[in-house]
Amino acid sequence: MNNVKLSDIKVLIDEESIQKRIKEIANELNTIYKEEEVCVICVLKGAVMFATDLVRNLTMPLTMEFIRLSSYGSSTVSSGKVNAVEIKLPDLNNKNVIIIEDIVDTGLTAKFLLDFIAANFHTKSTKFVTLLDKKISRKTDIEPDYYCFDIDDKFVVGYGLDYNDLFRNLRFIGYADKSLLG
Ligand code: IMP
């Protein structure tokens, strides 16, 4: 049951701060890759807002792929098992790959994806970029190459992130009191 209302959500990171930080990360990536082509892989659904804003600030030639993984279902705690809901990728051999995620929490999703890419392709380079890094929940030794913000032990929503598939459309990243979350 969804008992969280929009009015229960407090702002953690506002729209202006998100957009400012995305430009900083994009500038770093632009400096690294220069004119080299990259393939950007957006992990649906949560990373969609971040990925589309990030790529609009990237200047190298790039292609975009979208894959869908899930580990949460309708809970606020990772099930500990990653499901590949849809993972169809082109030939990434010899390509520069940038994986774009919404949040690295336990790190299981990131590990699953990095292992999948390493097992199937010899990429030229693979980088993992995430909007949020929740280091406190980590259960793997995965560290993103870039993150926009690190956050403490809160379940966050907005700007692509959901609770029961809701609140992805918020322009900011927010949180509700734990007592309201099922
Ligand atoms: P991990 O595999 O535990 O690192 O979790 C990664 C996925 O869990 C993310 O891509 C999100 O979809 C989801 N997730 C983790 N923490 C949160 C949160 O605070 N709010 C919303 N979704 C989350």
**Predicted confidence (pLDDT) per residue in 108-125, tens digit:** 999 999 999 999 999 999
**Cα of 114 to ligand 1 centre, how many Å?**
16
Q: Which atom of ligand 1 is nearest to the CA of 154?
A: 19
Tokens of 106: 């336990």
| Of 82, 161, 175, best ligand 1 pocket probe by most atoms within 8 Å of the beta carbon | 161
Q: How far apart are the first and last CA of the chain?
A: 8
pTM (two decimals): 0.94
Region 95-111 average pLDDT: 96
pLDDT exceeds cutoff 70 at 72: no
Q: Label residue 83 by pLDDT band (50, 70, 90).
A: confident
| Of 9, 13, 102, best ligand 1 pocket probe by most atoms within 8 Å of the beta carbon | 102
Quote the CA–CA distance of 137 and 144 in Å, as a whole number. Answer: 14
Q: Share the mean pLDDT of the chain.
A: 93
Quote the CA–CA distance of 112 and 84 in Å, as a whole number. Answer: 9
**Cα of 54 to ligand 1 centre, how many Å?**
19
Q: Label residue 82 by pLDDT band (50, 70, 90).
A: confident
* Continuous segment of H or E residues that includes residue 129: strand 125-133
Quote the CA–CA distance of 111 and 19 in Å, as a whole number. Answer: 27
Q: What is the pLDDT of residue 162?
A: 95
pLDDT tens by residue, 8-62: 999 999 999 999 999 999 999 999 999 999 999 999 999 999 999 999 999 999 9
Q: What is the pLDDT of residue 1?
A: 46
**Residues in contact with ligand 1 (CB, 6 Å cut-off):** 46, 71-72, 78, 101-110, 134, 155-156, 161
What sign results for the dihedral spanned by CA atoms 157, 139, 109, 100? positive
Residue bearing the CA closest to ligand 1, atom 11: 103
